[in-house]
Structure 1
Amino acid sequence: MITGKNCIGGQFKADGSVEFKTVDPKKNEENPTVFIEATKGEIDTAAELAWEAFKVFRKTSGKQRADFLNTIADEILALDQELIDTYMLESGLPEGRAIGERGRTVFQLRSFAKLVENDDWRENTFDAAQPDRKPQPKEDLRKTMIPLGPVVVFGASNFPLAYSTAGGDTASALASGCPVIVKGHPMHAGTNELVASAIAKAAEKTGMPKGVFSSVNGGTQTGIDLVEHPKVKAVGFTGSIGGGRALFDLAAKREEPIPVFAEMGSINPVIMTADAISKRGSELAKTYAGSITLGTGQFCTNPGLLLTVKSPDTEAFVQELAKETTAIDAQTMLHPNIKKGYESKGEDVISQKGVAVVGKYEGNLDANEAASIIASVSGEVFLKNPKMHQEVFGPFSMVVQCKDEAELLQIIEGLEGQLTGTLIAEKGDGANLLEIVDALQNRVGRIIYNGVPTGVEVCASMQHGGPYPASTDSRFTAVGIHSIKRWVRPISYQSFPMELLPDHLKK
């Protein structure tokens, strides 16, 4: 049963008086459960418990942490239909999406469990002593990775499970030996509480230290209090550029600055060659209409910008894209505020001089449903107006028709950092794409060839991050087993006696 309380070190408490409710976006009405924001005292308690837990948790074996992660997965599955129903009630997303996202969440937990069953992920290195080396002897040196400390994870609005309470940030941090404090997203506080209860049960069943996990409700001030707490040593965030940058700045101003690994906005440019549009424009229009509207466009990998060279074939493609996109039934957005943001940002872009709205969904809209939009602009106008470069979070995409390939290349080089870049091309285009590939790889974290950017595979080779503002540190991924590297730091042991070394460095 959902209580509306905060999970502090496994205990559900509600000392505060500030209340809020979630919203059913399909009915456009509040859900009945009252949630209580965490007090400053509860946040302090969670952080102190996490710090004490860290002293024990960081020394647990990989097999112990793997057991913990696998048990979390089991407990999430045990929530069964209650979790699915709550997810749908708070997000407006369909049951298939809820079941799929639960599956992804469980897969991530089990992937990290498998990763830490042995210590290969620590990338240990050994340099043996050479006492007889001249002119100076060489000391014995051994390097490994150790966890940073308590991590604060901010739940994402668009993924109530896979990027939230037990999502990739939490799974990877726990796998590394870092306790976690989750700030649940207010839009899906009930989903957060159910998953928090599953993690709390798993911690108790596997004998994890009290404080290894907490979850708190709250808004902006709660987030500030968490990031500024001296016992917190790192932050994981998925959301807007404004929110991520605010947390990054807060963390940098601390007496002891800490890393913030934020995955933020992206318009994910798609470059289409003239030959590709000429040969399969209709096919591409249908494919990209599906990608643009997938999940009501509420993915960080939504293809918000299509780049190509102007031609009669291009114009026909744009018209076909608009037709295919606006023929897809409107879908509910996650929250009334997200719909307002979509309409506001979309209007800001399409009201700019030189922008043409080629297609807009004209059917009847229920509460919080979004009208898809396809806009078009020339390369010259796009280059001169930075407002057109902003992300419109929803089923929106802009086609930029460049006068030639040189202008297209200039646009790519001038874009802000992105999560993805996509090349749509034919076999004969290869030699002409080298400059574009070079420009793209300096702007994005993942390049797709003849595909769509929506859909992020959870595997070791996935890079989900990119140059700022796609993320705050382009060297790390937020998806896949290598995301564990965000929560650890290297340490070397020099000339240490064997009995004082950690077990994984003894050999």
Structure 2
Amino acid sequence: MTLTGELLIGAAHVPAGAGTMKALNPATREVIEPEFAFGGAADVDRAVTLADEAFDSYSHTGPAERAAFLDLIADKLEAAKGELAERASLETGLPVAQFEGETLRTADHFRKFATLVRQGRFLQATIDPAQPDRQPSPRMDHRLQKVALGPVVIFGASNFPISYSVAGGDTASALAAGCPVVLKAHNAHPGASEIQGRAIQQAVAEAGLHEGVFSLVRGVGNEIGEALVDHPLVRAVTFTGSEGGGMALYRRAQQRPDPIPVFTEMTSVNPTFVLPAALAARGAEIGGGLVQRAMYNVGQACLKPAILLAVDGPGFAELREAATSEVEKVAARTMLTPGIHDSYTRNAQRLEERGATRIGAGQEPTRAWDGQSLMYEVTGDQLLAEPDLREEVFGPAILLVRLTGLDQLLEVARAFRGQLSATLHAETPDHVATAQLLPILERRTGRIVVNAFSIPQEVSYATTHGGPFPATSDSRFTSVGMGAIERFLRPVTYQGFPDALLPEPLREANPLGLWRLVDGELTRP
């Protein structure tokens, strides 16, 4: 595919209307061709207007048609795997093989949503039949299904150029729900974004759908983001990134004349608690294993286990030694963007200014934007006294916390803000302590992991990638897994309708063969 750098607005390829940019290879510091177009408010309006025009027809596609469209996107992503991985590697400095795997996982994500759509369970079809003879008053027939919200704006993320980007889980789940998508591509990987965007654009055309089902825009600064959030036809927004960026969008959306939901995935340190019996039995194994997982993607993963907590006692020295030894083996690698690298450097320095002691360091950087792996240590008292020590350092840094006992472990657990995940390592003698810790963690996270690590995460029906603020702006939803579709749906009840006017999922004959809740009983198709 020859990259053109144009915006993809509906079926059109649109040249720059507000300037251009070129991609940057952070490993070599070389500028990469071609030039990529920036759009402005007029481009946003065109894209969102097309999405709104597409909504009625697309949201009423049947399960088979919509699922086939999602499968077609998956096919096109797989067909572009080599080219996409090469370009993503060029724009990030990360290995080609990593992006080949990311492409396949993303295609699989679309196929899982295709299966979900065919099953139709996301509609939550519910029927309360009429009871004309009920006393003291009759009941009319009530039927409910979930419907799509409307056009959705998705902000692509910087750290996963495929699975959290143009063809990522937000796009897959929004399209599965029946919502047209306007995608704001991240400027850190414009070429990889265009390859994905054109794959989806082609799938829209081949499926015979309205061109407004998908558009891709790009811009500089806050202007285009504000225009997207402010547009009166937009019905929801998703964002993956910093707390500051996510909350700016969230507050802006709430100030609209008609506020809309903004589903953010922002910040998390994913604390790992090692209970005493597990520490004594497996301290070295846990310490080394955690570092290996934490350094994935040069520590630039939202699920990085960033803070390791254990009571000083049998096994602590082994855990500490294994972790620091593993950190010291890690080669410095290029971070995703110069800005992320600079922020990492500042935040690592902040840890030291707040009293953290550096106890391990990886190999020295050889290039300007290499991230050096670092390990710090503090006491439980320090962590409790200094909130900044509990904040995310996005990059390859880990903080080890030496606790005085179980009481302090529980106190520290209560001090954490909302998290995407929390992990505990426990053996059978730790179960009493675990029972005390679990209610604390349940209030602070959407996923609790036992005797494993917070990363990687399975994409499945039982997945939760979300948690209380500031991990997300709405802890009731997940941004990964099949449950992510719930963000883009709302219930509608049809009361007293003749059968011929009902949506197919609610008709008496159940023509789509769906599982339905009828008068409180789950019924087979």
Q: TM-score, normalised by structure 1?
A: 0.98
Task: Give the whole-Å Cα distance in 2 for the aligned partners of 1:81 and 1:400.
Answer: 43
Q: Which runs of 4+ in 1 moved over 4 A?
A: none
Q: CA 1:108/1:362 → structure 2, altered by over 3 Å: closer, same or farther?
A: closer
Aligned position for 1:406: 407
C-alpha separation between the residues in 2 aligned to 1:10 and 1:344? 43
The answer to whether the Cα contact below 8 Å between 1:27 and 1:367 also exists between their aligned partners in 2 is: no
Confirm or deny: 8 A CA contact 1:319 1:358 kept in the other structure: no
- Partner residue in 1 for 2:206: 205
- Residue type of the alignment partner of 1:218: G
Q: What is the distance in 2 between the residues matched to 1:329 and 1:497?
A: 68
Structure 1 equivalent of residue 396 of structure 2: 395
Question: Over residues 380-409 of structure 1, what are the superposed CA-to-partner deviations in whole Å (9 max), with x where a residue is unaligned?
Answer: 111111111110001111111122211111
CA distance in 2, matches of 1:119, 1:408: 45
1:181 corresponds in structure 2 to: 182
1:350 maps to 352
- What secondary structure is seen at the aligned counterpart in 2 of 1:419? coil
Which of 222, 229, 253 does residue 231 from structure 2 map onto?
A: 229
Q: Which residue of 1 aligns with 2:324?
A: 322
Cα distance between partner residues in 2 of 1:17 and 1:153: 20
**Could you tell me which residue of structure 2 aligns to residue 156 of structure 1?**
157
Separation in structure 1 between the aligned mates of residue 18 and residue 157 of structure 2, nearest angstrom = 25
Partner of 2:260, secondary structure, is coil
Quote the Cα distance in structure 2 between the aligned partners of 1:384 and 1:80.
48
The yes-or-no answer on 1:286 pairing with 2:274 is no
| Letter of the structure 2 residue corresponding to residue 330 of structure 1 | A
Take 2:8 and 2:182, find their aligned partners in 1: how far apart are those partners?
9
Instruction: Give the deviation of 1:80 after TM superposition.
Output: 3.9
Give the match for residue 333 of structure 2.
Answer: 331
SS at match of 1:99: helix
Identity of aligned residues (%): 40
Q: Which runs of 5+ in 1 are unaligned?
A: none
- Residue 422 of structure 1: CA displacement? 0.4
Say if 1:78 and 1:316 are closer, same or farther in 2 by CA, change over 3 A.
closer
Instruction: Say whether 1:12 aligns with 2:13.
Output: yes
Aligned equivalents of 1:239 and 1:15: distance in 2? 26
Deviation for aligned residue 1:55: 1.5
- Residue 515 of structure 2 is matched in structure 1 by none
Deviation at residue 294 of structure 1 after TM alignment = 1.4
State how far apart, in whole Å, the 1-side matches of 2:225 and 2:287 are.
42
Please report the TM-score for the alignment, with normalisation by the length of structure 2: 0.94
The one-letter amino acid paired with 2:108 is F
Aligned residue for 2:166, secondary structure, equals coil
Structure 1 distance, partners of 2:446, 2:366, is 36
Cα pair 1:63 1:118 within 8 Å, conserved: no
Deviations along 1:274-322, one digit per CA (max 9) or x if unpaired, are: 2222222221222112012111111101011111112364244223311
User: Which residue matches 2:117?
Assistant: 116
Question: Helix, strand or coil for the counterpart of 1:418?
Answer: coil
1:152 partner SS: strand
CA contact (8 A) 1:476 1:483 kept: yes
Alpha-carbon deviations, 1:114-157, whole Å to 9, x = none?
A: 11114222111100111111111111101110000000011110
8 Å CA contact 2:279–2:314 kept in 1: the answer is no
Q: Using the alignment, how far apart are the partners of 2:211 and 2:322 within structure 1?
A: 58
**Which residues in structure 2 correspond to 1:163-174 (within 5 Å)?**
163-174=164-175
With 246-255 and 215-224 compared, the bigger mean Cα shift is at 215-224
Structure 1's 148 and 364: CA in aligned 2 closer, same or farther, altered over 3 A?
A: closer
Deviates more, 1:18-27 or 1:358-367: 358-367
Post-superposition offset of 1:69: 0.8
The one-letter amino acid of 1:411's match is V
Where 1:16 maps in the other structure, the secondary structure is coil
Residues 378 and 400 in structure 1, CA contact (< 8 A), matched pair in contact too: yes
Q: Aligned-pair RMSD on alpha carbons?
A: 1.2
The total of aligned residue pairs comes to: 506
Structure 2 unmatched runs, 5+: 509-525
Aligned-partner residue type, residue 324 of structure 1: E
User: Does the CA contact (< 8 Å) of 1:345 and 1:392 recur in 2?
Assistant: yes
